Structure 1
């Protein structure tokens, strides 16, 4: 029997939890891609600052965050930004916690993203993934996402490339 993953809307009270999950996810997924000094020393504070700001957007209605839970335990989260002028919704973050991957958490969150975006009249979802993050790329491609663009980026004090992936909703 597949474990049941449920989603709940995050509130400002979840800011520290989201920042912590984001930090743990990046520290695991980006090990060997981003500098260890960044992942081990600078990341937590940076993610706390990021989520303190992003949750103000959520409170203002410009974005939504959903926390995925398995048996009441937070196992991931997704952040969705309201559609832009082209009818595209940014999947700003999608993270399944290390040790809880493979439960279907990512798929449940992507299904919610599509439902949420369609309810707002969006035509597509898009996101960025680091070019070296083969696991994430494989996950998205196996679910019908396609790479639309490669762009220079700067993360963790180094130059990297990000890939823009898109998923049509029609």
Structure 2
């Protein structure tokens, strides 16, 4: 990972950019998992409606979004939801553009998620990943995330399963102290 990835805080003005990255990431990562008809239609328009609404939550302080950049170009984003009553932060979305994978973007975003969560007193991070998304599962597991459950999900008109992955910030802190 020689690339220099920087992060900046997203604003409501970034909704179209985030929607575009989200649609491109889904079209690549979910090919063979979700129906092609779903991935090939106006996914960007659907994601734009989602992010226009989601950025209202961000503006209200319920979440934060960071855009990852490489040499001034947006290459990914992560959305983090404020800690819940159990001290857990939801990593609501984490996407690196397919043509920029391998730069370390995902790792930089996960490191920021942990830093952000710790600053808010959180003890854990959690996320959901589609059970068939082997690449994402491998990515998270290689970074110390553990599967904590499986639940029925419905997406793009089909029934499937999502896996809940968790990451203990307490354990990560202990590991960094030992090194």
Same fold (TM over 0.5): yes
CA drift of 1:42 comes to 4.3
CA distance in 1, matches of 2:35, 2:6: 34
Which residue does the alignment assign to 2:44? 44
Which residue does the alignment assign to 1:53? 53
More helix as a share of residues: 2
CA distance in 2, matches of 1:46, 1:102: 27
SS of the residue 2:93 aligns to: strand
Which residue does the alignment assign to 1:25? 25
CA distance in 2, matches of 1:67, 1:44: 17
Alignment coverage as a number of residue pairs: 170
1:163 aligns with 2:170: no
CA drift of 1:116 comes to 0.0
CA distance in 1, matches of 2:45, 2:68: 23
1:128 aligns with 2:128: yes
CA drift of 1:45 comes to 2.4
Which residue does the alignment assign to 1:118? 118
CA drift of 1:145 comes to 0.1
1:56-111 deviation line (CA, Å, top 9, x unaligned): 00001100000000000000000000000100000000000011000000000000
SS of the residue 1:166 aligns to: strand
CA distance in 2, matches of 1:160, 1:116: 31
CA drift of 1:43 comes to 2.2
Unpaired stretches in structure 1, ≥5 consecutive residues: none
CA distance in 2, matches of 1:158, 1:46: 17
Which residue does the alignment assign to 1:89? 89
SS of the residue 1:41 aligns to: coil
Which residue does the alignment assign to 1:70? 70
CA drift of 1:165 comes to 0.1
Which residue does the alignment assign to 1:148? 148
Q: Give structure 1 regions of 4+ aligned residues with deviation exceeding 3 angstroms.
A: none
Unpaired stretches in structure 2, ≥5 consecutive residues: 171-179
CA distance in 1, matches of 2:158, 2:56: 28
TM-score (norm 2): 0.93
Considering only aligned residues, what root-mean-square deviation do their CA atoms show, in Å? 0.8
SS of the residue 1:77 aligns to: strand
CA drift of 1:49 comes to 1.3
